[in-house]
Structure 1
Amino acid sequence: MSGGRAGGREPVGIDELLERVRAGFVRLGPAEAAAARTAGALLVDIRYAELRNRDGLIPGALVVERNELEWRLDPRGSHRAPEAVSHDLRIVVVCDEGYASSLAVASLRQLGLHRATDLIGGFQAWRTAGLPVQT
């Protein structure tokens, strides 16, 4: 008997989960994310509206609330965004500080979006680096 634990595995703390998830992909710093965008990557802002309204937006980023992310970026999904054209699409997920985005990338990679990654430090790192922000 598993003792009520999913799959009989021991529970994992969030820090360990983040470490495991992040070991599966190369994360980008702000300058690397900006260069990836210039090279055709899709920046996807998953911050909730209050943070976007407070701090602004990365110009040209696709805004998709976190709870809709998989449905909007699955190239085979019936509710996909027009930008979700291929499993080969380079996607850089942006949250506020770079934590939720890592978990979102893990989910996107399970959908076959193998080039998905995230921005280290999130939107706050982008802004601190002096990269463009639209208010």
Structure 2
Amino acid sequence: MPQSPLAKSVDTPIGVDALLATARTDLDRLIPTEARAAVARGALLVDTRTETQRAEQGELPDAIVIDRTVLEWRLDPASGVNIPEAHSYDVEIVVVCRQGYSSSLAAASLRQLGLWRATDLIGGVEAWVADGFPVTDGPADVRR
């Protein structure tokens, strides 16, 4: 059976740490103050945390909540099921998760789609809160 060009041999697994390091090589990751500045200039702040995580940590002001399982479809301008804000491959996107790990993988995936300005927030919402930036009780802008 032919192997996918993106897959490594099962005989040589790379592990999650190497996968994460590879994903981050092309990302210009942002600290919370830089993420806020990006949103102020029009970037999409995309929250991929679960509903439970958002209930525990609070909602990010100005964020669009997109479940990780449909992220690529909602942000790819050519998918046919994209959100209206994802109208171009030139849109700046800052992906946020709880601690800044899965957001790196998500941002790298978006860049592979052609969304060349996608990146993520170093430290996730935990860093956002630690830096004193606000969270709210909602409601969230959830896109399905």
TM-score, length basis structure 1: 0.92
Map of 2:27 onto structure 1: 25
Give the CA deviation at 1:25: 1.5
State the TM-score, normalized to the length of structure 2.
Answer: 0.87
**Counterpart secondary structure, 1:105:** helix
Match of 2:70 in 1: 68
1:23 to partner: Cα distance: 0.9
Q: Within 2, Cα distance between the matches of 1:74 and 1:8?
A: 29
CA–CA separation in structure 1 for the residues paired with 2:8 and 2:102: 24
User: Residues 83, 8 of structure 1: CA spacing in aligned structure 2 closer, same or farther, 3 A cutoff?
Assistant: same
| Shift of residue 61, structure 1, vs aligned partner | 0.4
- Note the residue ranges of structure 2 that are not aligned, 5 or more in a row: 138-144
Q: Provide the aligned C-alpha RMSD in A.
A: 1.6
Shift of 1:77: 1.2
What is the letter of the counterpart of residue 46 of structure 2? V
Counterpart pick for 1:89 among 65, 88, 91: 91
Q: Secondary structure at the match of 1:63?
A: strand
Shift of residue 7, structure 1, vs aligned partner: 4.9
Counterpart residue number, 1:80? 82
Following the alignment from structure 1 to structure 2, what is the Cα–Cα distance between the partners of residues 115 and 62?
A: 17
